[in-house]
Structure 1
Amino acid sequence: MGLPFLLALFSACKKGGDGTDKSDQDSTGKIRADFVKGADVSWLTQMEGSGVKFYNSIGIEKDCFQVLKDKGINTIRLRVFVNPTDGWCDTEDMIAKAVRAKKLGLKIMVDFHYSDGWADPAHQTKPFAWAGLNFAGVVNAMHDYTVNVMDSLKVKGITPEYVQVGNETNDGMLWPEGQASKSMVNFSTLVTAGYNAVKEVSSTSKVIVHISNGYDNALFRWVFDGLKKNGAKWDVIGMSLYPTTVDWADYNNMCLANMKDMIARYDTPVMICEVGMDVNQPATTKLFISDLAAKVNSLPNNKGLGVLYWEPESYANWAGYTMGAYSNLGRPTIALDAFAN
């Protein structure tokens, strides 16, 4: 998700109790051992740099990665910006977090935004350094940058299990040339450039094309029909899903139907790369995630790969975000019990 795009989603969130998890309940129902139970914690180093502390369910201060692992998280998703003005989420910062996660045995997903800041359905701005390039130059710059980041991870002994080439690319990326509604050919060229760059460094990393609104089958067919027609390459179809506390069951059902169609139509695995819900409604959030994970896990031939929570560690209205899964006490809420075994 992108911060400018998501802030509008949170104004309707209702207030409630702190939802702190004071138990270590297991979620009901088991999912297979290789299922991705993930968290995007890209804000973590910035929060730590501001003095934010993290605690486990009983109030003992611990490393956030360890707390999440103890709650059942097995995969960490990390965004990377090209040249952010404040330095957070640049290549160096992303790798620092990846190293910490890998030391705990967590899998890694890298989320390339291909921008100096947030990329989302409403914002796909080229990095400033690429602004004067023609399209061929942008393709080459994207390829070289991707290889450089992947090589930098490799030097640290990290081979990401998953790599997103673009973030919520509903209408393409690297606008205006890569805007899908203007040129699906160009968007497909960029996706393939990213795919090839990842595979040059790590043939085992699974490449994800990520689209928001996982319930919107028409959108997904438009994007992936266009990519397929133009010869683009990908390994996994990624989705975001951010329902409200009152409509989540309907959206989960629509998402399930969409996932089934994507698997049948493109013979491609699917993954829910981002979810989130009102931090003040943790019990409902747990139900939402548990139900969604069960649906993803039920997909045929193990083609439902997993579910990841977006920035669960954010709390106390960090950056105006109110869909995390930590209470104002800095402890995980019961929402994260959905990931426990």
Structure 2
Amino acid sequence: MNQTKRNKRSRFFALLIAGALSAASLSAQTQNRTIKGCITDANNKEPLMGATITLDGGKTGAVTDLDKMKAAVASHTTDVLQTLKDNGIDVEWIQIGNETRTGMLWPLGKVSNNNFATDDCLANISTLATRYNCKVMVSEIGMPWDSENAAAMMKKMVDGCKAKPECLGIFYWEPECYGGWNGYSKGAFTSEGKPTEALNAFKN
């Protein structure tokens, strides 16, 4: 992918996440009143997740928790897609989870680095296909070229995708990079330019 396309996609996801941050607001019920607002950091003014709010002089309170964050992100995503639809823009496909190995909207949305679960990923293909009545594709999958787990991971994912009629396919990104070329370590060629065993999964 060239730098221009990367920049455009980065700006889109930055806009999506920024909007999700602004949408992650607190809603607390107290008697017959609803208190709404966005909790921000005193220093950088960025929204905070996991904060606890208690009303002055009382015990009533609320927490900005993971469920509220997920609801805010889902609502914002729906709003964005609906706006595109209302303006006659047809969205052919939606990419989920790009560059989110460590999660998003920290600290609540943080996950362990590179904790890629193949079983969960394969199961999620069926979940998404059933829920949204559409085909699913696994895109931009990869692992460091010198990882001892790369070949096994790729074989399990490719075989698993082949076994699912609801899966359109799976493609490696960016296999032609070799030995950490230009700082990118997830190619499928060694530093000598020889293909790694990770590509064996695509032989048949």
With the shorter chain as reference, the TM-score category is 0.5 to 0.7
Give the Cα separation in 2 of the matches to 1:304 and 1:197: 22
* Structure 1 counterpart SS, 2:190: coil
* Structure 2 counterpart SS, 1:277: coil
Is residue 2:155 matched to residue 1:270?
no
Residues 264 and 117 (structure 1 numbering): CA distance in 2 closer, same or farther, change over 3 Å?
A: closer
Percentage identity across paired residues of the two chains? 25
Which structure has more relative contact order (CA 8 Å, sep 6+)? It is 1
Structure 1 unaligned residues grouped into runs of 5+: 1-41, 43-87, 91-111, 126-171, 199-206, 220-242
Residue among 234, 244, 253 paired with 2:119: 253
- The one-letter code matched in structure 2 to 1:118 is S
Structure 2 unaligned residues grouped into runs of 5+: 24-71, 105-112
2:35 aligns with none
Residue among 182, 197, 208 paired with 2:93: 208
Give the Cα separation in 2 of the matches to 1:317 and 1:324: 7
Bigger radius of gyration among the two:
2
* Structure 2 counterpart SS, 1:293: helix
1:192: how far off? 3.5
2:176 aligns with 313
Structure 1 residues 133-282: aligned runs within 5 Å: 172=16, 175-176=18-19, 181=73, 183-189=76-82, 192=85, 196=89, 207-212=92-97, 251-281=117-147
| Contact 2:145–2:179 (Cα < 8 Å) also in 1 | no
1:325: how far off? 0.9
1:189: how far off? 3.1
Is residue 2:10 matched to residue 1:118?
yes
2:45 aligns with none
Residues 332 and 260 (structure 1 numbering): CA distance in 2 closer, same or farther, change over 3 Å?
A: same
Structure 1 residues 285-296: aligned runs within 5 Å: 285-296=150-161
Is residue 2:187 matched to residue 1:324?
yes
CA RMSD of aligned residues (A): 3.8
Count the aligned residue pairs: 144
Q: String of CA shifts for 1:15-60, please: whole Å, max 9, x gaps.
A: xxxxxxxxxxxxxxxxxxxxxxxxxxx2xxxxxxxxxxxxxxxxxx
1:184: how far off? 3.7
Residues 116 and 322 (structure 1 numbering): CA distance in 2 closer, same or farther, change over 3 Å?
A: same
